[in-house]
Amino acid sequence: MKKIVLWTLLCLMITPIIAQDGDKLVGVWKPSDGRSLVKIDKIGNKYYGRIVWLKDPNNEQGKPRTDINNPDESLRETPLRGYRILKDFIYDDDEKLWIDGTIYDPKNGSTYNCKIELKDNNSIEVRGYIGAAVFGRTDSWTRMKKK
C-alpha cells in the first residue's frame, strides 16, 4: 500500500514538470517572412496556433483578407485573422518536440503534418512535411516579447 501511495505522489510531482516543458511553446510567434503573428495556446492537453496579426490585413478591395485558397469552397470567405493554422500538437517529453499536429498554409490551401522544436526560449523550428519528415520545409519562428 505504501508503495502505491509513494508511486502516485511521484507521478503527481512529475506531471507538472512535463507540462511546464510543453507549455514553453505558448506565446506569440513571428514566422521568418514577418507577414503574420501566430498565437499558440494550450487547449486541454494539446497546442493550437491561430493568426492574430497580418502585415497586410486587407485585400485590394480594402476588405479583411480571407482564406481564398482553401480547398473547401465554403471556407473561402473565412477571415485569415483568427484562423487556426496549427492544430492538435502534443508535447513529446522524450523527443523534446511538439508532434502529431498539422500546419495549414493559406498561401496554397494545403495542410501538412508538422512538428515543432524549441531551439531556445525565443525561437522555434516549425517543420511542415508530407509523409515522412524527410520531405518538407522548416521555418524559424521568433517569440514576440511582451511590451
Distances in Å between the Cα of 5 and the Cα atoms of 11, 13, 17, 78 are: 10, 12, 19, 51
What CATH code would you report for 2-143?
2.40.128.520
61-94 per-position pLDDT tens digit: 999 999 999 999 999 999 999 999 999 999 999 9
Q: Where are the domains of the chain?
A: 2-143
35-68 per-position pLDDT tens digit: 999 999 999 999 999 999 999 999 999 999 999 9
Distance in angstroms (rounded) separating the CA atoms of residues 16 and 121: 19
Backbone angles phi, psi at 75, to 5 degrees: -105, 0
